[in-house]
């Protein structure tokens, strides 16, 4: 069994896998990390690896305390991956984006893939059918957009995500919702159309915390899987063990 941990900018997600089967998923705050992992390992005593991908600010030592129970591994830029990284600055590419790209290659071979991760930030990652990682884009996620409008203006309120009934906002709140939600939907649809214009045999994977909120509002055919990063982390680690 493998316990995978994704340390994001906002929260920590984890999942226990037996082979390719996801047995249970967990979401918790950073201050709960050690207690939560301790409880997971008590429940799943047969876990042999703890595999971590982190873009957050959690110290490695917090995970290394569990080395007495299982092997702890941190995914890094030095690992072997099933694609050629053609990013101009490969060492600055987030490990989360690398793992998502690897998962897309392993799960959807010989296709052009666009992975859209809708979390704190929205990232776009394109891997062509020859398994070349070419790059993508980064933009603010839904909550960042709401927060920016509130933090950098004098009077706009901080709102929770809500899908407006019309793209014409009839009030300040509705105008904010329309700008944030519809703006992001238009952005994603626009990026997808641009990529579809340069590539055929194309698959779109939507993942991240806002997957369910966004999926039904997008006009393009997508594979929506909020657990894709955790699944990719497990598959990428197994790939590393096999070929490293």
What is the mean pLDDT, run by run of 10 residues, along the chain of 244 residues?
Answer: 90 92 92 90 93 87 90 94 96 95 96 95 97 97 96 95 89 95 95 92 93 87 90 95 84
Token pair 């201050």 is at which residue?
Answer: 31
Looking at domain 2-74, which of 1.10.1740.10, 1.20.140.10, 1.25.40.80, 3.30.420.40 is its CATH number? 3.30.420.40
Where does the chain hold its CATH 3.30.420.40 domain(s)? 2-74, 97-233
Q: Which superfamily does 97-233 belong to?
A: ATPase, nucleotide binding domain (3.30.420.40)
Q: Which two tokens stand for residue 190?
A: 């626009």
Q: Which two tokens stand for residue 224?
A: 């929506």
Enzyme catalytic residues = 96
* Whole-number pLDDT of residue 222: 85
Phi, psi of 2 (to 5 degrees): -125, 130
CB contact at 8 A, 29 and 76 = no
Instruction: Answer whether 0.85 is exceeded by the pTM.
Output: yes
Token pair 């990063």 is at which residue?
Answer: 229
Q: Which two tokens stand for residue 20?
A: 């390719």
**Alpha-carbon span 117 to 101, nearest angstrom:** 11
């Amino acid at each position: 069994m493998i316990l995978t941990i994704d340390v994001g900018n906002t929260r920590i997600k984890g999942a226990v896998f037996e082979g390719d089967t996801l047995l249970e998923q967990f979401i918790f705050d950073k201050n709960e990390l050690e207690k939560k992992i301790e409880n997971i390992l008590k429940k799943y005593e047969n876990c042999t690896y703890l595999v971590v991908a982190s873009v957050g600010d959690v110290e490695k030592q917090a995970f290394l305390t569990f080395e007495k129970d299982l092997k702890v591994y941190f995914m890094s830029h030095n690992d072997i991956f099933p694609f050629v990284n053609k990013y101009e600055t490969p060492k600055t590419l987030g490990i989360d984006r690398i793992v998502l790209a690897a998962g897309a290659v392993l799960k959807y071979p010989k296709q052009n893939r666009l992975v859209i991760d809708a979390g704190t930030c929205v990232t776009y990652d394109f891997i062509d059918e020859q398994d070349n990682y070419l790059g993508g884009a980064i933009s603010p996620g839904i909550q960042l957009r709401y927060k920016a409008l509130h933090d950098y203006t004098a009077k706009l309120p901080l709102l929770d995500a809500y899908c407006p009934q019309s793209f014409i906002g009839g009030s300040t709140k509705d105008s904010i919702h329309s700008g944030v939600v519809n703006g992001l939907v238009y952005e994603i649809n626009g990026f997808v159309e641009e990529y579809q214009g340069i590539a055929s045999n194309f698959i779109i994977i939507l993942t991240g915390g806002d997957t369910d909120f966004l999926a039904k509002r997008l006009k393009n055919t997508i594979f929506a899987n909020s657990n894709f990063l955790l699944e990719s982390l497990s598959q990428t680690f197994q790939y590393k063990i096999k070929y490293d």
